[in-house]
A and B are shown apart, each in its own frame.
Chain A
Amino acid sequence: MTALTLRNVWKEYGDQIVIENLSLDIAPRSFVALVGPSGCGKTTLLRLLLGQERATRGTIMLDGAALPDEPGPDRGVVYQRYSVFPHLTVLGNVMLGPELQSARVVGRSFGAARRHLNEAARQMIADVGLAGSEDKYPAQLSGGMQQRLALAQALMMKPRVLLLDEPFGALDPGIRTDIHHLMKRLWDERPMTVVMVTHDLREAFTLGTRVVALGRKRNRPEEADRYGASITNDIDIWPPRVAGARTLFNTEYALGWDDPTVQAVTSGRPDQPPET
């Protein structure tokens, strides 16, 4: 169970204040959707949580202990881009994490271990809807497929915290629905806390247990650099959504089951919510 705590966190790049006095408590197993205008510092906040950058001031704690100074396997990430390795095939990308973890010298697994891993990786690839593309290189995949590959690659490590930076931005509505289901299922099944940046409010409210809006409190252009972003809105989804439990609303409905444009893409059945 992993809780994240941010206490009075500031992040400055030179003279520019990006994040200003931000405090946030993220309960274990929550699914926080982070929204906000472009350039307000959402990616920067994820980088802080990842340990890729250090806060200029303030503390970040993971389960009550100070966040390690560098990224590690307990925190997985899917970036906006550059998330997969161009020199590995889809299968190679998905197998990479466990291989690195088990073979600390050669970075490759062999024999029976490799066969097991291969099976698990193929299963994961099928889960994100990339079956059949195992031997392709990322350059041969579309942007949306690369994001799904990145998700599969991160999930193979069973991270305690999963940080997602606009992971589903480039997906069409049909695949987006599928991947939302996958995301929900994985979040239900695994003890993981998710922080997801998104520009899609509907996505934020469908998946999240909590929607946090980031923004500048003062917005005069001439002082844009002097005031950073902090939390402007913090909404708990009601009725509360709990990992692994059903809610009042049957959230297992396909997102947009009542939306004819999505219907046309996902299934042939109009008018009734799909069974789950």
Chain B
Amino acid sequence: MRLINQQLSPVAATALKFAPFLVLILAYLLGSSLRLAENPNDKLLPALTSIADAVDLMAFTPDRRSGDYLLWTDTWSSLKRLAAGLGISTALALVIGVCIGILPFFRALLAPFVSFVSMVPPLALLPILFISMGLGETSKIALIVIGVAPIMIRDLAQTVLALPREQIVKAETLSASSWLIALRIVLPQALPRLLGSLRLQLGPAFLFLIAAEAISADSGLGYRIFLVRRYLSMDIIFPYVAWITFLAASADFGIDRFRRWLFPWSQLEAGR
């Protein structure tokens, strides 16, 4: 039988799903124990026990100076910035993307401009943002928006443009105005794609967030990682990275579930 037609039993499929994770953990444990056997003070790959201690210190013990539980305050500040940045980007993508997609006026006015702006490397703009908007929250959120919004706008405009012309004409014969076509025909069909593009932008959004926090912040996941880097505290950095990954993966999963629940038909279309 051809490899492309291989049928996996559910047990095998589950085993395969977990295998790479298991290999990663085992490789870490092996490397860590080898290095620690050679030098008990090694900081590069700390033992699980020191990681557990660090997690306890960061997540479940109040900080000596501020009395905060650092992991949670860091998470909260980072997620606020991320949500604001992605929220603004999504709203921009929705309004501008749909306008570019259905209105010739806005297509002529904005499509080339948005394509141009999406080529600006956002991180190169970071100094400009810090200088012009100060070191506070605004510049961090602005970086996320500049980094992800243009791509989301382009993606959504493409999706809208790709709707069959027949559908739009059909709506006109059903007496729809431009506004009603946007509201009842284009918007519902663009939203599932918008959620999909939001999922894809989670990674870049975290990248820009951590870059901004690394340079200037007083709390946040990225800030913490770059702070403890000075002390080579791998026992804190590893759990923080794992936690960020977990947050991003949960958001990815949650958004997809949300799309399926809200737009059951989008799943049917994909299966055709």
A: which residues have CB within 8 A of B? 50, 52, 70-73, 75-77, 79, 81-83, 85-88, 96-97, 100-101, 104-108, 137, 139-140, 153-154, 157, 159
Closest 5 CB pairs of A and B: A97-B174, A139-B268, A73-B175, A82-B166, A82-B164
Q: Other than the known A71-B169, A71-B173, A87-B263, what 5 A-B pairs have Cβ atoms closer than 8 Å?
A: A73-B174, A82-B170, A97-B174, A104-B180, A107-B176
Chain A's closest residue to B265 (CB) is A137
Distance between A93 CB and nearest chain B CB, rounded to angstroms? 10
Contacts of B188 in A (CB 8 A): 87
Residues in A with CB closer than 8 Å to B265 are: 86-88, 137, 139
Question: Do B175 and A101 touch (CB < 8 A)?
Answer: yes
Bound Cα distance A272, B210 (Å): 82
Interface string of B179-194 (1 = CB under 8 A from A): 1100111001100000
Q: Are A50 and B184 in contact (CB under 8 A)?
A: no
B174 touches A140 (CB 8 A): no
Within 8 A of A (CB), among B252-272: 263-266, 268-269, 271-272
Query: What residue in chain B is nearest A70 (Cβ atoms)?
Result: B172
Check if A100 sits within 8 Å of B173, measured CB to CB: no
Residues in B whose Cβ lies below 8 Å from that of A104: 177, 180
B207 within 8 A of A: no
A50-B176 contact in complex given A85-B185, A86-B269, C-beta closer than 8 Å: no
A108 and chain B: residue at smallest CB distance: B184
CB nearest to B272 among chain A residues: A139
29 A-B pairs, CB-CB below 8 angstroms? A50-B173, A70-B172, A71-B169, A71-B173, A73-B174, A73-B175, A76-B173, A77-B170, A79-B166, A82-B166, A83-B166, A86-B268, A86-B269, A87-B188, A87-B263, A87-B265, A88-B265, A96-B171, A100-B176, A100-B180, A101-B174, A101-B175, A107-B176, A107-B180, A107-B184, A108-B184, A139-B269, A154-B173, A159-B173
State whether A100 touches B269 (Cβ < 8 A): no
Which residues on the B side are within 8 Å of A75 (C-beta)?
173
Question: With a CB–CB cut-off of 8 A, which chain A residues contact B176?
Answer: 100, 107
Residue contact A100 to B184, C-beta cutoff 8 Å: yes
Chain B residues near A108: list those with CB within 8 A.
Answer: 184
Name the one of B164, B169, B183 contacting A52, with C-beta atoms under 8 angstroms. B169
Residue of A nearest to B188 (CB): A87
Confirm or deny: B250 has a beta carbon within 8 angstroms of a beta carbon on chain A.
no
Give the interface SS of chain B, mostly helix, strand, loop or mixed.
helix
Contact yes or no, A157 B173, CB < 8 A: yes
For the complex, what is the distance from the CA of A79 to the CA of B171, rounded to whole Å? Answer: 12
Give which listed residue, B167, B175, B177, B179, contacts A97 with CB less than 8 A. B175
Which residues of B (231-267) have their CB < 8 Å from a CB of A? 263-266
CA–CA, A83 to B164, complex, Å? 9
CB of A74, distance to nearest CB on chain B (Å): 9
Contacts of A85 in B (CB 8 A): 167, 170-171, 185, 189
Please give, as numbers and ranges, the residues of chain B lying within 8 Å of A157 by CB-CB distance: 173-175
Q: Secondary structure at chain A's binding surface: helix, strand, loop or mixed?
A: loop
CB <8 Å contact, B268 and A140:
yes
Chain B contacts to A: CB under 8 angstroms:
164-167, 169-177, 179-180, 183-185, 188-189, 263-266, 268-269, 271-272
The docked-state distance in angstroms from the alpha carbon of A106 to that of B71 is 45
Q: How far is the CA of A73 from the CA of B266 in the complex (A)?
A: 28
Q: Is the CB of B268 within 8 A of A100?
A: no
Shortest CB distance A259–B (Å): 34
CA distance A87 to B167 in the complex (A): 11
Cα distance A107–B165 in the bound complex, in angstroms: 20
Find chain A residues with CB under 8 A from B177 CB: 104
- Distance between B170 CB and nearest chain A CB, rounded to angstroms: 6
Contact B189 A87 (CB under 8 A): yes
Pick the most buried of B171, B185, B265: most chain A CB atoms within 10 A of its CB: B265
In the complex, what residue of chain B is closest to A47 when comparing beta carbons?
B169
Contacts of A97 in B (CB 8 A): 174-175
| Residues of chain B within 8 A of A82, CB atoms compared | 164, 166-167, 170
B169 CB contacts on chain A under 8 angstroms: 50, 52, 71, 77
Contacts of A70 in B (CB 8 A): 172
**A73 near B173 (CB under 8 angstroms)?**
yes
CA of A76 to CA of B26, assembled, Å: 66
**Roughly how many angstroms separate A75 CA and B184 CA in the complex, as a whole number?**
20
A79, A96, A137: the one contacting B268 at CB < 8 Å is: A137
In whole angstroms, how far apart are the Cα atoms of A77 and B170 in the complex?
7
